[in-house]
Amino acid sequence: MMKKKPAKKSIKKSLFVLLLASVMGAGTSCTSRSEKLYEQSIAALDSGNYSSAADLLEKTSLLEKDNVQKYRYLGEAARIVRFELQNYPKALRMFRTIILSSSDELQRIAAQEAISEIYLENLQDYSNALKELQILEPLLKDSKKKEKIRLRISQTLYLTGHSDQALEEITAAEKYVKFQGLHFLKLKAEILMSERRYKETLLAYEELRQKNASFFAEENLYVAVSIVYEEMEQYSEALNYLLKNEGFVKDKAYYELRIKRLKSKIANKPLSKGIRK
C-alpha cells in the first residue's frame, strides 16, 4: 500500500485556519506566548523546517487552555510528524493523547482514523490495523465512511489470514452496501482466487463486469480473469479471453507479454491433460 503524503498547502491551510481561530479567541483562551509560538510554527513550515514546526505546535498545545483548540494544535503537529517526518511511533502517541484527552468527539474520531491508517498504510501492521479499525467503525455516523471502514476491515481480515471471516463480512455487506459494492465484490474475487476456488472466482468477476464494465476495465480485471484461466491450466481460454478484450487492456506492453506467455504454454502443453489444480 502506498504511503499517503498530502500537499504542503493542505497543512499550511489548516494551520492558517487555526491561526485565525487563535487570534479571534486571544482574549479568553490564548496567551501572547502561545500566539507567538504558533506564528513561529507557520514560519518554520513555510521554510520547510518540519521538525521545528511540529515541536512549536506541540509547545503551543501545552500552553493553550481551551481544550478543543489545544488538541487542534496537537493534531496538526501529529499530521506533520506523520506525513513529513514519517515518525510513526511518535505520531501514534500524539493521536492517542487526543483520543484520551480531547473533549471534542470529532477530534477523537479523526485521531482514531489516523491511527488505523498509520498501521494499515504506513506500517503495514495488519493485525493492529484490524484492531483499530474495529474500534473506529462503531464510532462513525456517516454511512459512506462507515461502509469504507467495513471494506477495510474485510481487507485486513484477509491480509491477516482470516479469509473465511473476510468472506463472511463481504456476504453481510451485500445487505447494506450502497457505495463500496464494486470494491467488496472485487475483494471477494481476490480472496476466492487466493483459495484456488477458481470457478467461484470467475463467477464473481463476471458479476462485477456485468455490474460496471468501466470499473472492470479500470481495475485491469480482464487480465485478472485470464490469469484465473491460466491457473486452471486452460491456456486457450486465457488467450482467447485476452484477445477478445484487447481494447480494454490499457497496459499494452504487459498485454503483449501475457499473449506471448500463453502462446508458449499452449505450444508446450502435453497432449494429455494431466492433473488439474
Number of domains in the chain: 1
Is residue 105, in this structure, part of any structural domain at all?
A: yes
Q: Is residue 250 situated within a structural domain?
A: no
Residue-wise pLDDT for 252-266, tens only, equals 999 999 999 999 999
Query: Is 50 part of any domain?
Result: yes
Q: Is the pLDDT at 92 greater than 80, yes or no?
A: yes
Query: What is residue 269's predicted lDDT score, i.e. its pLDDT?
Result: 84
The pLDDT value recorded for residue 27 is 46
pLDDT of residue 15: 66
Average pLDDT, the chain: 91
Q: Is 64 contained in some domain?
A: yes
Domain-embedded: residue 157: no
> pLDDT class for 30, splitting at 50, 70, 90?
very low
Q: Please tell me the predicted confidence (pLDDT) of residue 11.
A: 72
Q: Assess if residue 13 is contained within a domain.
A: yes
Which pTM value belongs to this model? 0.85
3-state secondary structure the chain: CCCCCCCHHHHHHHHHHHHHHHHHCCCCCCCHHHHHHHHHHHHHHHCCCHHHHHHHHHHHHHHCCCHHHHHHHHHHHHHHHHHCCCCHHHHHHHHHHHHHHCCCHHHHHHHHHHHHHHHHHHCCCHHHHHHHHHHHHHHCCCHHHHHHHHHHHHHHHHHCCCHHHHHHHHHHHCCCCCCCHHHHHHHHHHHHHHCCCHHHHHHHHHHHHHHCHHHHHHCCHHHHHHHHHHHCCCHHHHHHHHHHCHHHCCCHHHHHHHHHHHHHHHHCCCCCCCCCC
What's the pLDDT tens digit per position in 107-155? Answer: 999 999 999 999 999 999 999 999 999 999 999 999 999 999 999 999 9
Residue 15 lies in a domain: yes
Range of the domain at 124: 1-139
Residue 8 lies in a domain: yes
